[in-house]
Amino acid sequence: MTPQVSKNQTRQRVHKRIREKLRGTAERPRLNVYRSLNQIYAQLIDDAEGRTLVSASSREKGAASKTGGNVAAAKAVGKALAERAREKSISKVVFDRGGYLYHGRVKALADAAREAGLQF
């Protein structure tokens, strides 16, 4: 009998494979997405220094939606992240979907960040 593998273990394995190919720099940081059941988080990371440059999440004070587990909250997070990145003169990023399918909340966050001025 083969042991069951959870969806999260599979996602982490896929994310590890993605991370082998992606690197964020100061000029072009990595836009990392983490999606939990009730919230969504995004951050721009400079992998060369191991620093988070900008972050946004659906848990922040004044978030647009009461719950972070929907597409509307993901759009708000993407827009907020792009605005904060513009303040720090960041316009180009490398998108790291975190092992999640590019669909639903992840896609909404990415599209909102693009509309607000980030280039992938």
Q: What is the pLDDT of residue 92?
A: 95
Q: What is the pLDDT of residue 30?
A: 96
Token pair of 17 as six digits: 């494979």
Over residues 73-113, the pLDDT tens digits come to 999 999 999 999 999 999 999 999 999 999 999 999 999 99
Q: What is the pLDDT of residue 61?
A: 78
Burial track 91-116 (b if 16+ CB lie within 10 A, e otherwise): eebbbbbbbbeeeebbbbbbebbeeb
Residue 23 DSSP SS3? coil
Over residues 24-81, the pLDDT tens digits come to 988 999 999 999 999 999 999 999 999 999 999 999 877 666 777 899 999 999 999 9
Q: What is the pLDDT of residue 26?
A: 87
**Which pTM does this prediction carry?**
0.90
Q: What is the pLDDT of residue 64?
A: 64
- pLDDT exceeds cutoff 70 at 116: yes
